[in-house]
Amino acid sequence: MRTFDELWAMAVERKGAAELEATLQFPKPRTEIIATPDDRFLALMTKCIFQSGFNWKVVEAMWPGFEAAFDGFDIGRCAMLHDEDFERLVSDSRIVRHGPKIRAVQENARFIADIATEHGSAGRFFADWPSENYVGLLDLLKKRGARLGGNTGQYFLRFSGLESFILSQSVVNRLIAEGVVDKVPSSARDMAAVQQAFNTWRSQSGRSLTEISRVLAVTID
């Protein structure tokens, strides 16, 4: 496995140092994540779920309708949706009328409510999660949330501003080239190997998982 400096040099060779630095993303400050209201996490979960396998631009253009249809993603209201609410929502032209994804809003509202009760707020829970075990958080989203497995959970955490990596095809190809995995990681063992590799590069560079993820992608893009 190459060192981070070697990977950085590869990325610089492809993009140039100035352009590479300009394209890097960074996590939000911990205080900003803590200050994020619970309803905004539910809204972002919902957006990522509806964008999965669908045209992102369409969901983005319809988003004001989503906010209105789901009462601003008020946690209490979304957690207590009744059958009549679902009947209304699956016929609501302001949103993408996908029954299972609409049902996931209620399930994730309950998930957010639970972690807020356990930790004071969803923001504090996410901000306090150790980056060295990012894959553990992905696993928790998959098990306790609804439709938050795979890339959906990864994009949710990235857009929430958490320190994170996204296993895009380019990143996976670099991980394969470095001998970290031999295919798209899916098993707990593979994900642990990916986490260990990122932790090593993080220690070598002092950079976040978010930055490292982009650097790996650039070595392939």
Sketch out the chain's domains with CATH numbers: 4-27+165-218 (no CATH), 31-145 (1.10.340.30)
Question: 124-162 burial, b for 16+ CB within 10 Å, e for fewer?
Answer: bbbbebebeebbebbebbeeebbbbeeebbbbbbbebbb
Is 55 buried (19+), middle (13-18) or exposed (0-12) by CB count in 10 A?
exposed
For residue 138, give the nearest of 160, 121, 153 by alpha carbon. 153
Contact 86, 114 (CB under 8 A): no
The confidence score (pLDDT) of residue 221 equals 73
What does 163-189 look like in DSSP terms, one character per residue? S-----HHHHHHHHHTTS-SSS--SHH
- DSSP-derived secondary structure letter, 27: P
Give the number of other CB atoms < 10 A from CB of residue 210.
21
Residue-wise pLDDT for 186-195, tens only, equals: 999 999 999 9
Give me the pLDDT at residue 13, please: 97
pLDDT under 50: residue ranges of the chain: none
Summarised one tens digit per residue, pLDDT across range 159-176 is: 999 999 999 999 999 999
